[in-house]
Amino acid sequence: MYILAATSYTKDKKCRVQDDNVDCSHLDLTTIPRHLPVNATSLNLFWNRIKIVKGFTFQSMRYITYLDLGRNVIELIEINAFHGLHRLRTLHLHDNAINVFPNGMFERLNGLQVLSIDGNKLKYFQDDRITKISKIVSLTTLSFDVYPDFKFPIQWGKLSKLTDLRIFARSSKVHFNKAMFVHV
C-alpha cells in the first residue's frame, strides 16, 4: 500500500509516506511533526530547522529502526527524547548545534549499531555523558569530531563490535598518535 503524502503534520509541509518509511526531509520544519504513522520503521527529518528534541517525542513510534535528525539546528535533546525506540539501529545527529547530551541518553539504545554525532559542538569527550557511549555494546559504526588533546575514553574499549570509526578533526592542532587509540 502506498500513501503519497500525509497531510495532518504541518500546514503546507507534507511528509512523504511510502509503506513504513516517513520522509520529512528538506521541509524547513522547526518542530518534529506530531501524529506520524505509528507503524513507521524509518523516519527521515534530515535538513530542517528543528532546535529541540523534546522528551517522549517518539514514544508511540516503537518500530523505528532508522532515525535521521542530521543537518538541523538542534541545540537541546531533552531527557527521554528517544524513549520507546528500543528497536532503533541507526541514529544520525550529525551537523547540529548539540553541545551536551542528556543524562541517560544512550542507556536505552541497547540495539543501536550506527551513531553519527559529528559536526556538533561536543568538545568534551571525556565528559561522563560521552563515555556512556560504551554502554551501546552493539555499536558497529561511530562518527564524531576530535579536538586538541583528545583521547578516546577508556570505556570505549568495551565497544567490541565497532568496525567503522569515522573521525573528523575540528582543529588544525589535532595530532593523531598511538596514545589516542590505546583503549579502542
Q: What is the DSSP string of 104-129?
A: TTTTT-TT--EEE--SS----TTSHH
Q: In CATH, what is the architecture of 1-98?
A: Alpha-Beta Horseshoe (3.80)
All cell numbers assigned to 167 = 573521525
Task: Taking residues 147-176, report their average pLDDT.
Answer: 80
Domain boundaries in the chain?
1-98
Look at residue 184 in the predicted model and tell me its pLDDT.
62
C-alpha radius of gyration, the chain, whole number: 17
Distance CA 184, CA 177 (A): 13
Q: How far apart are the first and last CA of the chain?
A: 45
Look at residue 181 in the predicted model and tell me its pLDDT.
66
DSSP H/E element including 76: strand 76-77
Write down the pTM of the prediction. Answer: 0.88
Per mean pLDDT, which range of 7-11, 32-36, 41-45, 147-151 is the poorest?
Answer: 7-11
